[in-house]
């Protein structure tokens, strides 16, 4: 008994001793390398107990680095056993990392062995593989292609209006679960326009919608799995931990595989993303694919930085399906969340909703004559564009941009006031650019928590550093579907506000309770309903 107790005490003591050694090393990691260091504010135990997400401390870290009067600062994100991360506060440094010296920072932080649907997708690709795939996929969402898809946007937005009217009348209008409704809209848009499938996501018990919802729901246990996969990849692989439930993974793999097979074996050819993948696998992809890009797109994406060659890609279903899946998920989840939050803002800011409604009617007509919206008209919705920009500023889909330093990089931090010094970012270092913290910084946006679309009128935009706004990322590794997402959002909002006045139900609508941040951006509470009252 005494021997066993002694062994237990000795083991516990050894563990505590090892932990203290690691903690001491963690505290000195950044200072030993010549960088300012600041504590994270979030520990692994916070994550494990479900109290916080890693990004919850980003604003606090950003402010601490500012108080130290530093342009960058080092953090041990989850304590002693996590990877060191260098936080960037200065916009000139952010520009260098994201654009000017992109060739040093072209990889993102890996999610590890997440799932076969995700591992080989564009978002998670690295190095030359990413460069080649980005070059291949860049023409997918050009202006010309979006124009050809536009009828799907228009038709689905009209179905969204009919969906609203399918709910029971409550006093003056329809009380609808806005988050779910917007998610049905965006899923149908992406599936019909990009994948050429004929679906009706708005019907009850649609299996595709149910599986998409299940993928997008990050329960406590799934968050733990995510952090394990990202921070302890070898252990996670040994334990066979997956970031996607098996039934969800099997469903989408089977669905996308069947879509590719049907197009390969059928006589019908489409002008969509699935056809691009089929042609690539069959070696029939037209060589002038890049001609669909504008000169600006070629210069910004393909020529100077990416260095990709689509002919290097070795196509198979195992590579094609993840590209399709990542487009589906990104086009469904993030846009739906932005639309739901935008609807909530309209419901709680009647004066702004009136301006959105006035412009929609002035540019597009009041909707009563049955006239369809034209693609060119959407580009004339200036105030709605300002409104969406302000939604994305305050409630970004991505709170943090991350990159990985690919080779040693000399960072000059001279600002004319302090002595110039050169700091070296070592290869393998993870970089974090806290987009949300920057977009809520009062030096760029006075009274930053106030919702004000006028921040994005032409005069105010020209006065502000352009790198103080990055909801879709910046540089060659920005969101490839940005233009698609914005057009899709504008069409839905224009259709809705012309037909309905959005307001709260009798239940008080509290901003803190209704709009909340997750590890993958802001969401609207799933049980929140807004009242859509038909306009006379």
Task: Read off the pLDDT of residues 420-438 as tens digits, 9 standing for 90 and up.
Answer: 667 899 999 999 999 999 9
| For range 480-497, the mean pLDDT | 92
Q: Of 214-218, 232-236, 356-360, which one has max mean pLDDT?
A: 356-360
On whether the CB atoms of residues 424 and 396 are closer than 8 A, the answer is no
CA atoms of 16 and 35, how far apart (whole Å): 28
Q: Which residues contact 185 (CB under 8 A, 6 or more apart)?
A: 156, 157, 159, 160, 163, 336, 339, 492
The SS3 assignment for 433 reads strand
Which tops the pLDDT comparison, 336 or 507? 336
pLDDT at 296: 45
Instruction: Please tell me the pTM assigned to this model.
Output: 0.88
R_g of the chain, CA atoms, integer Å:
24
Pull the structure tokens for residue 405: 């330093």
* Each residue's pLDDT tens digit, 68-77: 899 999 998 7
Q: Give me the helices (H) in 98-142, please.
A: 116-119, 127-137
Measuring CA to CA, how many Å separate 38 from each of 63, 85, 437? 10, 11, 16
* Phi and psi torsions of 530, nearest 5°: -115, 150
pLDDT at 1: 61
Residue owning tokens 């209008």:
173
pLDDT band at 302 (very low <50, low <70, confident <90, very high): very low
Q: What angle do CA 198, 332, 265 make, to 5 degrees?
A: 35
Pull the structure tokens for residue 364: 């597009």
CA atoms of 23 and 75, how far apart (whole Å): 13
pLDDT at 305: 47
* 112-116, 180-184, 296-300, 350-354: least confident range: 296-300
Q: Of 172-186, 230-244, 417-431, which one has max mean pLDDT?
A: 172-186
Q: Taking all residues of the chain, what is their mean pLDDT, rounded to a whole number? A: 84
Pull the structure tokens for residue 276: 């691009």
**Long-range pairs of 148-154 with CB within 8 A, sequence gap ≥ 24:** 148/271, 149/193, 149/194, 149/272, 149/484, 150/375, 150/487, 150/491, 152/189, 152/192, 152/193, 153/189, 153/193, 153/487, 153/488, 153/491, 154/372, 154/373, 154/491
* Each residue's pLDDT tens digit, 243-255: 888 898 899 999 9
* Each residue's pLDDT tens digit, 7-26: 655 665 555 545 455 455 55
On whether the CB atoms of residues 349 and 504 are closer than 8 A, the answer is no
Do the strands 500-504 and 529-534 form a parallel or antiparallel pair, or are they unpaired? antiparallel
| For range 437-453, the mean pLDDT | 96
Tell which residue, 64, 431, 134, 471, has the closest CA to residue 301.
Answer: 134
| For range 311-328, the mean pLDDT | 88
| For range 253-259, the mean pLDDT | 90
Determine the angle formed by the axes of helices 482-499 and 382-394, rounding to 10 degrees.
110
The b-or-e profile of 480-499 (16+ CB within 10 A means b, else e) is bbebbbbbbbbbbbbbbbbb
pLDDT band at 465 (very low <50, low <70, confident <90, very high): very high
pLDDT at 510: 52
* 51-65, 220-234, 410-424, 478-492: least confident range: 410-424
pLDDT at 79: 59
CA atoms of 262 and 496, how far apart (whole Å): 35
pLDDT band at 266 (very low <50, low <70, confident <90, very high): confident
């Amino acid at each position: 008994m005494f021997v066993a107790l002694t062994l237990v005490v000795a083991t516990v003591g050894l563990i505590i001793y090892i932990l203290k050694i690691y903690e001491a090393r963690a505290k000195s990691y950044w200072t030993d390398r010549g960088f300012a260091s600041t504590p994270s504010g979030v520990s692994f135990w916070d994550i494990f107990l479900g109290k916080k997400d890693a990004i919850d401390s980003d604003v606090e870290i950003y402010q601490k680095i500012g108080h130290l009067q530093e342009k960058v600062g080092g953090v041990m994100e989850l304590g002693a056993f996590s990877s060191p991360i260098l936080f960037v506060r200065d916009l000139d440094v952010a520009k260098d990392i994201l654009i000017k010296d992109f060739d040093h920072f072209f990889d993102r932080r890996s999610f590890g062995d997440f799932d076969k649907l995700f591992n080989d997708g564009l978002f998670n690709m690295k190095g030359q593989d990413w460069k080649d795939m980005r070059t291949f996929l860049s023409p997918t969402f050009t202006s010309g292609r979006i124009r050809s898809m536009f009828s799907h946007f228009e038709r689905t937005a009209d179905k969204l209006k009919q969906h609203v009217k399918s709910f029971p009348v409550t006093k003056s209008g329809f009380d609808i679960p806005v988050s779910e409704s917007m998610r049905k809209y965006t899923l149908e848009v992406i599936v019909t326009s990009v994948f050429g499938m004929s679906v009706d996501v708005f019907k009850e018990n649609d299996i595709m919608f149910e599986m998409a919802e299940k993928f997008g729901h990050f329960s406590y246990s799934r968050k733990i799995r995510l952090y394990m996969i990202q921070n302890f990849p070898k252990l996670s692989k040994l334990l066979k931990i997956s970031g996607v439930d098996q039934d969800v993974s099997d469903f989408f793999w089977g669905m996308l595989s069947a879509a590719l097979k049907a197009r390969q074996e059928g006589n019908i050819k489409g002008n969509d993303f699935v056809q691009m993948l089929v042609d690539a696998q069959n070696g029939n992809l037209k060589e002038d694919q890049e001609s669909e890009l504008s000169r600006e797109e070629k210069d910004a994406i393909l020529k100077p930085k990416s260095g990709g060659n689509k002919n290097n890609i070795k196509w198979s279903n195992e590579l094609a399906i993840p590209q399709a899946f990542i487009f589906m998920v990104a086009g469904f989840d993030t846009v739906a969340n932005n639309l739901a939050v935008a609807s909530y803002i309209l419901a709680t800011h009647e004066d702004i909703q009136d301006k959105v409604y006035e412009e929609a009617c002035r540019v597009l007509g009041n909707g009563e004559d049955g006239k369809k919206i034209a693609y060119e008209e959407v580009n004339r919705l200036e105030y709605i564009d300002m409104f969406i920009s302000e939604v994305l500023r305050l409630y970004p889909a991505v709170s943090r941009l991350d990159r990985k330093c690919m080779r040693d990089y000399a960072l000059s931090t001279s600002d004319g006031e302090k002595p110039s010094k050169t700091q070296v970012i070592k290869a393998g270092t993870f970089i974090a650019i806290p987009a949300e913290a920057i977009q809520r910084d009062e030096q760029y946006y006075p009274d930053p928590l106030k919702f004000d679309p006028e921040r994005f009128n032409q005069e105010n935009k020209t006065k502000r550093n352009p790198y103080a706004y990055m909801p879709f990322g910046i540089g060659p590794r920005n969101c490839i579907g940005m233009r698609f997402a914005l057009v899709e959002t504008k069409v839905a909002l224009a259709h809705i506000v012309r037909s309905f006045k959005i307001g709260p139900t009798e239940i008080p609508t509290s901003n803190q309770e209704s709009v909340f941040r997750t590890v993958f951006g802001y969401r609207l509470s799933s049980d929140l309903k807004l009242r859509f009252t038909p306009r006379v």
